[in-house]
Every structure is written in C-alpha cells, then in structure tokens.
Amino acid sequence: MRYVSTRQASEAVSASQAIIRGIAPDGGLYVPESIPAVDTAFLLALCDMDYRDRAAAVLGLYLEEFTAEELRAITAVGYGGNFDDPHAAPLHQLDGDTAVLELWHGPTCAFKDMALQVMPRLLTASLRKNGEQRTASILVATSGDTGKAALEGFKDVPGTRIMVFYPRDGVSQMQRLQMVTQEGENVNVVAVEGNFDDAQTGVKRIFADREFAAALDERGYFLSSANSINWGRLAPQIAYYFSAYCDLVLAGRVQMGEKVDFCVPTGNFGDILAGWYAGRMGLPVGRLICASNANNVLTDFIAGGVYDKNRPFHQTSSPSMDILVSSNLERLLYCLCGSGEQVRGFMDQLSAAGRYDVGPDLRRAVQEQFVGGYCTDEQCAEQIAALWREHGYLADTHTAVACRVLKDLRAREGAARPCVVLSTASPFKFGAAVLAALGVVTDETGPALAEELAAFTGLPVPKPLAGLGEKKVRFDRWVAREDMPAAVAEFLS
C-alpha cells in the first residue's frame, strides 16, 4: 500500500517512508492510497483477542512492510506493563446507551500514549527498513499532552533525539511539570511565547525550511514529527475504535453489525479522524460527534462548511483542545474530495486569509457522518459534577466536554442511540478544574491538587502523577517564536 500527499504534489511513498518523513515535502499529510476493508469475520476474530493483538491486527492492514510477528512484538511492549490496566483501553459503561472508552491508562495518563507508546517503535523499525543512518530528530509542538507522551515514548530510543515546544501560557501546571522533569539523554523541552498555534506554526516553518534541513543533514540529523500529522500516530488510534466495538458486542450491549456513534473531544482532529477511518474500513460506526470547547471552529465548520480561524482564541479548562487550526482535517477533506489541488487551494486560503469555504457538496459529504457541538467551561464543570453525582464517575475536563455535547445532542433529538464517549485524560491531570467543578475550595496548586482530589473522591492518584512535585526540573528555558530554529540548531549541534 502506498501513501500519497493530501496536496498531491509529492511522490507516493511506502508506509515506513511516510512514518519517517512525518509530513510530505509539498506540505501535505500522508494518507493511504486506498482504505483497507474488513468483514464480519475479521471483527469476530478481533473479539477473541486482547488489546495488543487487536491493535497489531488493525495496524497490519495499513503497514504491509511489517510482518504480523513484528507488529505483535511492538504492540505487546507498547501496551504492556507501561499501562496500569491489562486491557490498555477499557470500556466503562455509564448507562444503558453510553459507554466511556478510557484511553488514559498509559504512562502519561492521556490518550496520546495510545499512539506514542507504539509510534517510536514503528519509526525505529522504519528507519532500519530504509537503511537510514542519520539520527531522527523529532520536533513536537504540544498543547500539553502530546509533549509528555512523545518524550516518554522516545526517551532513550536509540537513533532518535526529541525536542518539545509548548506554549508558555497554555498548559496546566501539572502538564508543565510532567514535561520539564522529563528524564532521558536524548530529550529537550522549551517553552514558546504565545499559544499552541504559535508553537505549531513555528514547528511547521522549521519543517518547511530546506536550507535548515540541509545544514542538519551535514551534521547527521534529519527532522521528523511525532505530532498527530504523522501517519504512525494516526494508525494506532484506529485500533481502539475496533476494540471498543468488540467489547460492546462481547458485553451484549450491541449486536454485531449494529451501528454505534462515537463522541470525541477534539482538538487537532486526529482522534476523531481515526474513527472515520475505522468506519470507512467497515466497522459499524454511526455518527462521529465532534465535541469542542469555546474554540468552536470545528462546530461552525461542520454546520456551515466554512473554516474560519479568525476569531478570539480562548484559554479554557480543556487546554488540549484549545486549537484553532485542526491539522488533520486536511486528511478528511482530501479523502472526501479526492483532489490534492482543491485541498492545496483550501490550505493556501487558510494561510493567506485564515479561512476557506468548502462549498455545498463537500459540506454535505462532511455532514453525512459528522455532527459538531461545543460547550463552555461552565457547562463542562456542571457536567463533571453531574457525572460524579449521578454515576459516581470522575471525568476530566476534556471528557466532560464530550459528555456535555452528547447530552445536548440527545436532548435536541429527544432520543438516545448507543454511543461511546472517548475519554482522553485522567481527571488527576486537571485537578484544579475538576476540584472546582466538584465544589471543593482549595489553596493548593500543582501536584498537591491531585492528592486533594484523591482525598475527596477516594480514588488513587495514578502512579505517573504521584510524586511529581519532588522531581528535579531539568528544563526551564523559554524562547520567542522566531528563535525556535536557533534553539533546534543548538540542540542538534
């Protein structure tokens, strides 16, 4: 299977090459030339497997250069003892129609681990397959959770170095502490003045700078990405939609073949896009409900077909979704319209004017499967309190946004269809907002908030978050956006 660029101005490459490059030379994102199809027999077989083998089976459909044994070895380690739940992505049934898919049982307590405990291993195997001698230098722009998950995934992986940029004013204290205390010999962490989009734009510019790449090449380095634009990030995410569906069938909640909606707290559109791929492959996916916070650019896009980032940027209690440019949307647009030229046009308009209009046909194609919705911080807090009160379920702010959007949609429709809500972070990562939502008044800050939340709820602080306050801060530097290239050059010297 070959991978093509969404802007169709670069050559097609193999899966391993797409993973090594991260982004195509024409600035587009790699997508598989065709989407593999599965049948009921495949789904039934998955039902009998544990999470690791399910993931390996789904990955195998996209990564033909990897043998089944190779992939099973990768997922066995990737979803092994580093997860605090043997099933890696367990389903928690909230009520008759609603299940929560918990994607935060990995080493950094956020769903990014689902991809980033596997992707570095896919990358190093890809480097071997392509005879690459240079050091892969991973550049990451993070809105909080990706950075830590990428650092943890790449820490001391031979043949790689990793540098993470995070918005100085855009991550929680817990997220910052997780990153600046990161261990490992091949890692670096720098704050950038501005918000996530500033950091992401800065990283994209570095990737697009050919002179910069040539200078690095002379020193034995090449740049790659661990952001959700890398196909190696997206592919492992497809697996948990399959796994959740199998678990619903096994629990007798749905009949094999019956459609299930998925409600996804969305930022860069990677998580929800994986669900779209799963549906295209033949998993009975009903609607994909795209849940946003006050940065509701996707809600408006799905409703009206106009993507317009010219709007105030809000810092919300769900910071991993504080995004105005959702990079992975480009993949959906390409798959729906099939024209790299058209996609290039949209992206050119986005960088020139900050907006584009996909027109009625493409808008309808998006609306066939996607529904958008958003909620405010206040509504999110109400939802956290309601989930705790009514179900004894503790949700983080991102998950609560999705639950609230689903609740509002069901109220509008006056009916409930079976739905899986993707839960993307441990509530202990966002202790301040969660405690406030539960009505607990506290003077504590940082890691002490997790302890306080544990005391209030009787639930344990996840191991990776306990004791963060005592760890040594290794990285306390910040730069302006225009100084990001110099920081990279210094790290890779």
Residues that bind ligand PLP (CB under 6 A): 110-112, 145, 228, 265-271, 320-321, 398, 424-425
Give the nearer residue to ligand PLP in terms of CB position, either 162 or 323.
323
Angle, alpha carbons 154-156-161 (nearest 5°):
60
User: CA angle 422-201-300, nearest 5°?
Assistant: 50
Catalytic, out of 112, 204, 309, 407: 112
Whole-number Å distance between alpha carbons of 153 and 452: 29
Q: How far is the CB of 482 from ligand PLP (least distance, A)?
A: 26
Give the C-alpha separation, 340 to 262, whole Å. 28
Length of the chain: 493
Task: Please write down the HEC assignment for all residues of 199-220.
Answer: HHHHHHHHHHCHHHHHHHHHCC
CA distances from 429 to 143, 201, 231 (A): 14, 26, 27
Least Å distance, CB 204 to ligand PLP, is 15
Structure-derived torsion over alpha carbons of residues 377, 380, 382, 383, reported in degrees to the nearest 10: 180
Q: Rounded to whole angstroms, how far apart are CA atoms 112 and 267?
A: 12
Of 203 and 492, which has the nearer Cβ to ligand PLP?
A: 203
Q: Which is nearer to ligand PLP, 78 or 267 (CB)?
A: 267
Q: How far is the CB of 112 from ligand PLP (least distance, A)?
A: 5
Place of tokens 């969660």: 434
Q: Quick check: is 407 catalytic?
A: no
User: Which residue, 336 or 422, is less far from ligand PLP as judged by CB?
Assistant: 422
User: Closer CB to ligand PLP, residue 53 or residue 261?
Assistant: 261
Concatenate the DSSP letters of all residues of 118-180 into one string: THHHHHHHHHHHTT--SEEEEEEE-SSHHHHHHHHHHTT-TTEEEEEEEETTSS-HHHHHHHH
CB of 183 to ligand PLP, least distance (A): 21
Count the neighbouring beta carbons within 10 Å of the beta carbon of residue 477.
10
Of 283 and 425, CB closest to ligand PLP: 425
Quick one: 21 or 112, whose CB is closer to ligand PLP? Answer: 112
Q: Which helix (H) or strand (E) holds 421?
A: strand 419-423
Closest approach of ligand PLP to the CB of residue 17, in Å: 23
* Strand duo 30-32 + 3-5: pairing: antiparallel
Shortest approach of ligand PLP to residue 68 CB, angstroms?
Answer: 27
**Residue-by-residue DSSP string for 281-330:** HT--EEEEEEEE-S--HHHHHHHHSEEE--S-----S-GGG--S--TTHH
- The CB-of-70 to ligand PLP minimum distance in angstroms stands at 26
Q: Map residue 457 onto helix, strand or coil.
A: helix
Dig out the tokens for 343 from the structure.
């996609």
Provide, rounded to whole angstroms, the least separation between the CB of residue 81 and ligand PLP. Answer: 22
CB of 75 to ligand PLP, least distance (A): 20
Closer residue to ligand PLP (CB): 17 or 228: 228
Exposed/middle/buried for 339, CB within 10 Å: 0-12, 13-18, 19+? middle
What is the four-CA torsion angle of 47, 50, 52, 53, rounded to 10 degrees? -50
**In sequence order, which residues have a C-beta less than 8 Å from that of residue 443 and are 6 or more positions away?**
none
- Residues with Cβ within 8 Å of 41's Cβ and at least 6 positions away in sequence, in order, are none
- Would you say 124 or 172 has its CB closer to ligand PLP? 172
Q: Which residues are the active-site residues?
A: 112
